């Protein structure tokens, strides 16, 4: 909902990709779950509301089906769940949810390596998820085409995607290879590594 205007023609969105770096057993997951609690609470309420609407939809659909075909009219609309965050990080899944959530989404994964490891996985390594993610950082327009999607083309005027997760230091070293550094993905990460307490 807000952007920082650095110049009259240059606006920066509040996109953050924080990643907590710590060794295994240092308490990354409890910190992650504490940070996620408000989002999980929002999603829980959205899920409850969706279940109420889904139950009403099933009743309305059954009544619609009982009518004679010349009396039916249009079937009732299937309710849509409000999404506050995602754990699935393919560009296609994100675009689908962004089309229903104009203010943007959070992609939250306890293991950040899983997010990056899923890039292009659905196309045998030949997709463009990494490029889509680089575009998400600027919250600009995104147009994603998939032959098997419904709809096959999704256009998001303002693709705002925040991301957060945790990662172990040895895994981070392997993740930040020259390609990830060269394309600018690594520079977009907000890395924090607390002092290890014995």
* More confident: 134 or 58: 58
Residues 6+ apart with CB under 8 A from 93: 86
Question: Is beta strand 105-111 parallel, antiparallel or unpaired with respect to 18-21?
Answer: unpaired
pLDDT one-digit tens code per residue, 125-144:
555 678 888 888 888 888 87
pTM over 0.85: no
- Cα separation values, 171 from 21, 81, 101, 177, 191, Å: 10, 35, 32, 11, 13
Beta bridge partners of 164: 108
């Amino acid at each position: 909902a807000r952007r920082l205007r650095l110049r009259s023609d240059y606006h920066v969105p509040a996109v953050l990709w924080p990643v907590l770096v710590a060794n295994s057993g240092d308490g990354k997951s409890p910190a992650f779950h504490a940070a996620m609690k408000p989002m999980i609470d929002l999603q829980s309420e959205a899920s409850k509301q969706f279940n109420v609407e889904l139950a009403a939809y099933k009743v309305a659909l059954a009544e619609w089906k009982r009518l004679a075909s010349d009396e039916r009219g249009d079937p009732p609309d299937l309710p849509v769940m409000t999404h506050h965050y995602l754990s699935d990080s393919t560009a296609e899944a994100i675009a689908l949810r962004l089309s229903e959530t104009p203010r943007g989404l959070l992609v939250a994964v306890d293991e950040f390596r899983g997010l990056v490891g899923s890039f292009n996985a659905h196309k045998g390594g030949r997709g463009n998820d990494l490029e889509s993610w680089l575009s998400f950082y600027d919250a600009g327009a995104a147009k994603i085409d998939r032959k098997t999607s419904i709809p096959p083309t999704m256009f998001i005027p303002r693709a705002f995607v925040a991301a957060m997760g945790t990662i172990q230091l040895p895994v981070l070293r392997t993740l930040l290879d020259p390609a990830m550094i060269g394309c600018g993905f690594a520079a977009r990460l907000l890395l924090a590594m607390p002092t290890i307490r014995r």
